[in-house]
Amino acid sequence: TLIQRGPDAVLRMILRKPSHERTSDDLETIYEELLHIRALSHLSNSIKRELASAVVFEAHPKAGSVLFHQGDEGRSWYIILRGSVDVVIHGKGTVTTLQEGDDFGKLALINDAPRAATIVLRENNCHFLRVDKDNFNRTCRDVEANTVRLKEHGKDVLILEKISPQQKQAFSHFKYTVMAGTPQKIIDSPSQDREFVLACKRRVVQFVYRWVTTIRQPVFDDESAVDFLEDLAGEVENDCIQLSALQEEASLMHHAMTQLRRYQEDRKAHSGQRWKLPPCGQPISLFSGSKESRTIIMPQDDIIFRVYCADHTYCTLRLAVDSTAETIKLCAADKLKLRPNDELLLVEVKSNGERVTFKDNDISIPTALSLNGRIFVSPKDHLDALTCLSEQEESTQGIDADLELFSTKELAYHMTLFDWDLFWCVHEYELLYHTFGRHHFGQITANLDVFLRRFNELQFWVVTEICMTTSLSKRVAILRKFIKLAAYCKEYQNLNAFCAIVMGLSNMAISRLSLTWEKLPSKFRKLYTEFESLIDPSRNHRSYRVSVSKLQPPIVPFMPLLLKDMTFTHEGNKTSLDGLVNFEKMHMLAQTLRTIRFCRSRHLVLDPPSPKSEGEVKSYISCLRVIDNQRILTGMSQKLEPRRS
């Protein structure tokens, strides 16, 4: 071809013709030229053919002239054929320089927003290809790059990605979503125009309002967030009075502030709750007891718990839930009169003898213990000498009652109410703290800990009860009862308890009891096989996920799976990439939080079964007897049914 690089006189002449006057040879010439332009390399050839009739040539002789200003309406998209331009932003100056082969001006077109920057020519005699808005929309708006990348000073500051058609519903009218960006760039407002600024302010207030009403407690507890809310409320009120605009937003802020005040008064009235971690593994309970429904554990609440020494002497401490391991260590050392110059460690000793050392800045420690775990303090070089207490190998002191006397439905009903209360107290943010590590935030995860602990408790309760039943016929009856209990929990949509029971039944110590399973009526065996397939972890727990997706709230979800999803997302994705917040990761994590919100979006209202022994059932399920040492459980199981040779 005639044209190898850059626009020569012939090409320029052709490009200056109005598109209806371009001959097919002309279009071919332009098309050939477009094939060599870097900014278009991702577009298909058929689009380049269409562009050949749409592009217009534009030349500017003088360096320093402005192509358009930040805040202007966006009318065209540009490709640099020759020369270079500066991208200039109010208050920042030149943020980047674009060269031959680069393009600009797309952002305003795809987002229907004002120009985000001013474009200034850096040299004399710059040449551009221009595609006007209508042509841009017609030819390439829908197939334009999936990703928009903006740079400042050589570094990416914002990455937008096209939303796929399925996702579009969730984001309604937005075509692009932020994948990554610096915090500042994400909230930048490109214009000084009054209407535009007001529209931005409306969006900010509406967003903040939704954030506050969804998140509540952690926002209200955070001093800087409260300062921010107060400032924002003041600003919005000012705008309301001075510009007589934003009335609706002012009333939203007023509503948010009323909620804040109410929360603060409530906090004051309930300050200093006292929780008790009983020495023997039972659920953490409010010290004053007698409360009908549970209250949320707050960071400044006190918790009463024991700390042991190597010789099994102990002291009892009462400290705030958010005390660090270091504080606990110092208080315990003081009370136990340990020599202060020894380097001390705070350790959990589990019932199987396993030791886990706490980092000094870890918090929320008593609530995060394993079921029958105990806190020990020990000099560093005596760590290996720590042994568990004999009581840790025994069952926790639950209420000794004959399970068979309770109605299964009544048990399931009260278990579901109990679990629902625990689930209700878990804040969405606790999952984030748990995933990223609570010591990074200095935030407790006590309510989540208690809920997870309940899951383990139910699971080991099932194993313990069966292993403690020596008579074969009674064991068969109890096995039946647990399968029925799982069925009722499933019916009540308490999937946390359902999974705990079924996992308990599939524990090695139970599954090996072949005499017991053989005597189980086939109807129950079939039901159990069905349940087992629901908790089958293969294909990423597909069968559980499919069956849950068909349910309507209220649901008590299988919490360990939600946490597993979050951990997987967290470990597989960086939180920031080259200084940009990785929004894609945040969107993925938010998906799990949305699931939780969905599960609780309707209050639990169940038809109570006819009460037979309501009081006994309630106190029984709140205090289960549990052995959580697998070796001991397996030993008991072997005694019950020695392996037949």
Question: Shortest approach of ligand CMP to residue 506 CB, angstroms?
Answer: 56
Q: Token digits for 234?
A: 């003041």
The phi-psi region of residue 352 (left if phi > 0; otherwise alpha if psi is between -120 and 50; otherwise beta) is alpha
Q: How many residues does the chain have?
A: 645
CB of 504 to ligand CMP, least distance (A): 57
Decide if 314 contacts 291 (C-beta within 8 A): no
Least Å distance between CB 96 and ligand CMP?
A: 5
The tokens for 617 are 């059932």
The 3-state DSSP class for residue 423 equals helix
Residue 104 C-beta: closest distance to ligand CMP, Å? 4
For CA atoms 399, 400, 406, 409, the dihedral sign is positive
> Cβ of 27: how many Cβ atoms within 10 Å?
17
**Which is closer to ligand CMP, CB of 108 or CB of 476?**
108
Determine, following the binding rule CB under 6 A, whether residue 212 of this chain makes contact with ligand CMP: no
Question: Residue 184 or 293: which CB sits closer to ligand CMP?
Answer: 184
CB of 362 to ligand CMP, least distance (A): 41
**Close Cβ partners of 127 (under 8 Å, ≥ 6 residues apart):** 7, 12, 57, 58, 59, 80, 81, 82, 83
- d(Cα 152, Cα 69) in Å, to the nearest integer? 18
Q: Which of 34, 37, 81, 108 binds ligand CMP (CB under 6 A)?
A: 108
Eight-class DSSP state of 105: -
Give the pairing type, strands 118-121 and 56-60: unpaired
HEC string for 369-406: CCCCCEEEEEEHHHHHHCCCCHHHHCCCCCCCCCHHHC
What is the rounded CA–CA span in Å between residue 336 and residue 313?
8
Look at residues 608, 593, 621 and name the one whose alpha carbon lies nearest to residue 454. 621
Between 158 and 502, name the residue whose CB sits nearer to ligand CMP.
158
Mapped onto helix, strand or coil, the DSSP state of residue 321 is: coil
Residue 305 beta carbon to ligand CMP: minimum distance, rounded to whole angstroms: 54
Site string for ligand CMP, 315-344 (x = CB under 6 A): ------------------------------
Q: Minimal distance in Å, beta carbon 441 to ligand CMP?
A: 31
Q: How far is the CB of 68 from ligand CMP (least distance, A)?
A: 7
Residue nearest to ligand CMP (CB): 108
For residues 530 to 559, the per-residue mask of contacts with ligand CMP, x marking binding by CB under 6 A and - elsewhere, is ------------------------------
Considering the complex, state which of residue 191 and residue 637 has its C-beta at the smaller distance from ligand CMP. 191
- Pairwise CA distance, residues 495 & 9, whole Å: 74
- Interhelix angle 428-436/446-467, nearest 10 degrees: 80
Please report how close the Cβ of residue 143 comes to ligand CMP at its closest, in angstroms.
Answer: 18
CB closer to ligand CMP out of 122 and 525: 122
Can you say how many angstroms the Cα of residue 480 is from the centroid of all Cα atoms in its chain?
Answer: 38
Total number of residues binding ligand CMP (CB under 6 A)? 16
Judged by CB under 6 A, the chain residues 373 through 432 that form the site for ligand CMP are none
C-alpha 80: how far from its chain's center? 43
CB of 150 to ligand CMP, least distance (A): 4
Closer CB to ligand CMP, 96 or 367, in the complex: 96
CA distance 19 to 53: 5
Shortest Å, Cβ 120 to ligand CMP: 11
Closer Cβ to ligand CMP, 154 or 615, answer by number: 154
Closest to ligand CMP by CB, 190 vs 283, is: 190
- Please report the DSSP string for 475-517 in residue order: HHHHHHHHHHHHHHHHHTTBHHHHHHHHHHHTSHHHHT-HHHH
Using the minimum distance from each CB to ligand CMP, give the nearer residue, 85 or 621: 85
User: Which position among 48, 115, 127, 490 is part of the footprint of ligand CMP (CB under 6 A)?
Assistant: 115
CA distance 487 to 212: 39
Closer to ligand CMP at the Cβ: 151 or 175? Answer: 151
**Closer of 116 and 284 to ligand CMP (Cβ):** 116
Pairing of the two strands 274-276 and 302-308: parallel
Residues 40-59 that bind ligand CMP (CB under 6 A): none
Give me the least distance between CB of 169 and ligand CMP, in Å please. 27
**CB 586 → ligand CMP: shortest distance, Å?**
21
Query: Smallest distance, Å, CB 158 to ligand CMP?
Result: 7
Segment 143 to 162, residues that bind ligand CMP, using CB under 6 A: 150-152, 157
Instruction: Give the position of tokens 């870890």.
Output: 362
How many angstroms separate the CA atoms of 102 and 586, rounded?
Answer: 31
Nearer to ligand CMP by C-beta: 185 or 276? 185
Candidates 111-119, 168-176, 236-244, 321-329: pick the segment binding ligand CMP (CB under 6 A): 111-119
DSSP state of 277: -
Nearest distance from residue 73's CB to ligand CMP, in Å? Answer: 10
For the record, the structure tokens of 437 come out as: 């590590």
Q: Which is nearer to ligand CMP, 96 or 392 (CB)?
A: 96
Q: Compose the 68-107 pattern: x for residues touching ligand CMP by CB under 6 A, - for all others.
A: ------x------------x-------xx-------xxxx
Q: Are 212 and 229 in contact (CB under 8 A)?
A: yes
Nearest residue (CB) to ligand CMP, 40 versus 87: 87
DSSP-assigned letter for residue 471: S
- Round to whole Å and give the CA distance between 96 and 150: 9
Sheet containing 118-121: order of strands: 66-68, 118-121, 85-89, 93-98
H-state helical runs in 243-324:
247-269
| Closest to ligand CMP by CB, 95 or 559 | 95
Name which of 189 and 351 has its Cβ closer to ligand CMP: 189
- What is the closest distance, in whole angstroms, from the C-beta atom of residue 35 to ligand CMP in the complex? 22
Cβ burial 137-176 (10 Å sphere, 16+ → b, else e): eebbeeebbeebebebeeebbbbbbbbeeeeeeeeeeeeb
For ligand CMP, the binding residues in 116-135 under the rule CB under 6 A are: 116-117
- For binding to ligand CMP (CB under 6 A), which residues are involved? 74, 87, 95-96, 104-108, 115-117, 150-152, 157
